[in-house]
Chains A and B, each alone.
Chain A
Amino acid sequence: DVKVTQSSRYLVKRTGEKVFLECVQDMDHENMFWYRQDPGLGLRLIYFSYDVKMKEKGDIPEGYSVSREKKERFSLILESASTNQTSMYLCASSSRSHYNEQFFGPGTRLTVL
C-alpha cells in the first residue's frame, strides 16, 4: 500500500514565524503535491514537483516555497506565516505508472495566531 506521511497532524505557530511542513512517501512516486483545503474553496494546489529538485507553481504559490532534495520527501515552507495561512494542508504523491492517481497524506491542520 502507498503510504504518505506528514510530519505533524496539528501545528500552532505565531505570525511571522518560519514554518516547515514535511511530507514523505514510500512508493518511489515521481510526482508530489501540496494543497491547502479551506471550507467552501475546495482543494487548491500550492506547488508540485515532478522530479527531484524540480518544482512548479500551482494556483496559489504566493507566500509559500518548496524543497525536494530527495525523491521521497517534499517540504512546504511558509517563509513568514500569516493568519490567512491558517488552513488544512494536504500532501499527495502519484506516479505515471499508476495512472497518476494521487494518494494523500493525513493532513496537517495549521493555525497561525
Chain B
Amino acid sequence: ELKVEQNPLFLSMQEGKNYTIYCNYSTTSDRLYWYRQDPGKSLESLFVLLSNGAVKQEGRLMASLDTKARLSTLHITAAVHDLSATYFCAVESSGGSNYKLTFGKGTLLTVNP
C-alpha cells in the first residue's frame, strides 16, 4: 500500500525567509504532484513532476523529484504572506489503477509579516 508522508505538517515562517517542505513516499512511482489549498477553497494544481530529477519553478516556489530516494521537495524562497495556504503532495500509484493519486496530509504554511 502506497503511503505518502509530508513534513512538517505545520510551518510558521517570517516573510523573506526560505524553507523546504518534504514529501516522502513508500513505493516506486515516477509521478508526483503538488497542490495548494486556500482556506475554504478547493485544491489548485501547482506542479506535475514526471521523472527522476524533474525540477519545476513558479515564482517563489520550486519543486523537485528524486525517485530513487522516493522524495520530493517544495522549496519556498523569500516567503510572502500570499503564500500562506495548505500544500499537498500526491503520488501516482504504479501499475494497475495508475491514475489514482495518494495524497499526503498537507502542510499548513503561515507566513507572518
The interface of chain A, by Cβ under 8 A from chain B, is 31, 33, 40-43, 45, 48, 50, 56, 58, 90, 92, 94, 96, 99-107
Contacting residues, chain B, for A45 (C-beta < 8 A): 100
Interface flag for B78 (CB, 8 Å): no
Which one, A40, A50, A102, contacts B33 given CB within 8 A?
A102
From known contacts A42-B105, A42-B106, A106-B42, infer whether A101 and B99 are also in contact, taking CB-CB under 8 Å: no
How far, in Å, is A23 (CB) from chain B's closest CB?
12
Per-residue contact bits, chain B 39-78, to A (CB 8 Å; 1 contact, 0 not): 0011111001010000000000000000000000000000
Most buried by B among A33, A42, A90, A94: A42
Interface flag for B87 (CB, 8 Å): no
- CB atoms of A43 and B103 under 8 A apart: yes
Contacting residues, chain B, for A100 (C-beta < 8 A): 31, 92, 98-99, 101
Which one, B45, B88, B98, B104, contacts A101 given CB within 8 A?
B45
- CB atoms of B103 and A42 under 8 A apart: yes
> How many pairs, one residue from A and one from B, have CB atoms within 8 Å of each other in the complex?
50
The interface of chain B, by Cβ under 8 A from chain A, is 31, 33, 35, 41-45, 48, 50, 88, 90, 92, 97-101, 103-106
How far, in Å, is A84 (CB) from chain B's closest CB?
20
20 contacts between A and B (CB under 8 A): A41-B105, A42-B104, A42-B106, A43-B88, A43-B103, A48-B99, A90-B42, A90-B43, A94-B99, A100-B31, A100-B98, A100-B101, A101-B45, A101-B48, A102-B45, A102-B101, A104-B43, A104-B44, A106-B41, A107-B42
How far, in Å, is A41 (CB) from chain B's closest CB?
8
Contacting residues, chain B, for A33 (C-beta < 8 A): 100
Contacting residues, chain A, for B103 (C-beta < 8 A): 42-43
Contacting residues, chain B, for A102 (C-beta < 8 A): 33, 45, 90, 101
A17 to B88, CA, bound (A): 33
List 5 tightest A-B contacts by C-beta distance, closest first. Answer: A42-B105, A104-B43, A43-B103, A104-B42, A100-B99
